[in-house]
Chains A and B, each alone.
Chain A
Amino acid sequence: MELLNNKKRIYFDNSATTAVASEVVEAMGPYFTDFFGNASSVHSFGQQAKAAMDKARRQVAALIGAEFNEIVFLSGGTEANNLAIRGITQAYQDKGRHIITSQFEHPAVLNTCASLEKQGWQVTYLPVYENGIVRLEDVKAAMTDQTLLVTLMHANNEIGTIQPIAEIAKFIKEDIRPKRKNIFLHTDAVQTVGKVSLDVKSLGVDMLSISAHKLHAPKGIGALYIRKGVRIASQQTGGHQERDRRAGTENIPAIVAFGCAAELARKNIDTYTRQVEPLRDYLEQQIAKNIPDLVFNGDHNYRLPNIANISFKYVDGEALLIALDLKGVAVSTGAACASGSTEQSHVLVALGLEKDVVRGSLRFSLSRYNTREEVDYLLEVLPAVVEKLRRISPLYQERLKQESLKSQIA
């Protein structure tokens, strides 16, 4: 931005996307220029590409405890969610036509479910309550003998709350599957993978979505884990790539990058508990100490280590975002005002928060590359920025007036 004559630029929007790690850039480079073969080719160029892809597949599988053949490379989280939901419902459509999901899924799931509804599928959107967590008993209550798919995100991208996927998997395995073997559990783990150690076998899911650009690899690459034995209908016609599950020449440099990032994430997973989580907690505590009239959104215990979602009452999140951007700090908000009507985050609305609380929300999302100095810089500029916007706000003036009236009466 023009006014940013200064040097400092700090990125606290890692839930949106992340910087590509330098090791990852280095790893993928040669696959543009030297090892550029098509993995389906028989000659040595092709075989080098195939070997690199195999290695990446092992690296990604290792990150989530999957087997080699259970990983399908594709273009990212959106495609993974589409392939999982459309692929399974198409493959098993004669086994049941009911889907259970939640109200605060990513649009890649919500809009896919909505499009299946138009094709005659029944969809139940479970509530998430004020803490942003789906309840097992609601899943139980929603289950019918037509239910084919349960698709619930592992961690929410706006507030970071983690869903009880393992408990839901256990219920399905023990109570439903003995009666009906065609019931499947998919989880969108785009925000979780690389931040919380996760194992598909102990989690008990049938499918799991990953997006590489959330874990320091490039955009446009991701994977769907499909448990061995689960059939899906491929969503595009073409060649036989990815064992007939995803046609199209594989993007080898991106796949290599994804593999490298997956390995780095696996090796660094404990930095999230050791370093990122304490930093996030410090950020929250200091904000709470220095700024009044806040609401902390989402459950405080069951959540990702890197996200803080805080509402600053009496100000608009988007105005706050722009004012912070002018100070060199990038965050995101659940409030976006367009064409004279405020389009509110469906996630925060699903929590049942008041309009004003949604309006003033900011999301801070950290990565393993953020430092204490960066958080300290934020803490230095944020109180004044909020104060300035509140000083302008007629809503805040009214609140101050009411406060002083109250104290006069008392």
Chain B
Amino acid sequence: MSYSKTFLEHIEEPRNVGELQPPAVVVEVVNSACGDRIRLSVLVEEGKISSVKMRAFGCAPTLAAASVLTEVVKGYSLDEANVFTTEDLVKVLGVLPRGKKHAADLAVEALHTALSKLIV
């Protein structure tokens, strides 16, 4: 197993665990194939993501992806957040084992789902 240092640090000490209250939006996305789930809270103030929290259930890559995501996107403008991709997240997470990219997909899906709720 060759997880990156960043990945392992986030498993040891997951960041931004928890949930935000309204007006933050809270979404939960589930990978129907394996049951992994991420609950993401996003607060936007003055066009920027000012606070992000997460909870996650699933294999280590899912937990690490959710944790890393919260650190990376904090401070992003909505435009930046909207174009954020799985590949961007994997760059920070480090290489994932074969068959584990879905963990990063799920985290990015959570972000975009939250953003779509904001805009309406």
Measuring CB to CB, which residues of chain A are less than 8 angstroms from any residue of chain B?
1-3, 314-316, 318-319, 322-323, 326, 335, 337-342, 355, 359, 388-389, 391-397
Contact = CB atoms under 8 A, between A and B. Distances in A.
28 contacts: A1-B1, A2-B8, A3-B5, A3-B9, A316-B58, A318-B60, A319-B59, A319-B63, A322-B11, A323-B11, A323-B12, A326-B11, A326-B12, A338-B99, A339-B102, A340-B33, A340-B99, A341-B33, A342-B33, A392-B14, A392-B55, A392-B57, A392-B63, A393-B55, A393-B56, A394-B57, A395-B57, A396-B57
A391 B39 CA distance: 13
Interface of B: 1, 3, 5, 8-9, 11-12, 14, 17, 19, 28, 31, 33-39, 54-60, 62-63, 98-100, 102
Given A1-B8, A2-B5, A322-B11, A340 B31 contact: yes
A393 B34 CA distance: 15
A322 B102 CA distance: 18
A337 B34 contact: yes
Contacts, number: 83
A394 B56 CA distance: 6
Contact of A394 (B11, B33, B55): B55
Contacts of B11: 319, 322-323, 326
Given A3-B8, A318-B59, A335-B59, 7 more contacts: A2-B8, A316-B58, A319-B62, A322-B60, A340-B33, A341-B33, A388-B14
A143 to B, nearest CB: 40
Contact of A338 (B9, B35, B100): B100
B27 to A, nearest CB: 11
Nearest to A335: B59
B21 to A, nearest CB: 14
A337 B28 contact: no
Contact of A316 (B1, B17, B57, B99): B57
A337 B63 CA distance: 13
Nearest to A322: B60
Contacts of A3: 5, 8-9, 12
A342 B5 CA distance: 25
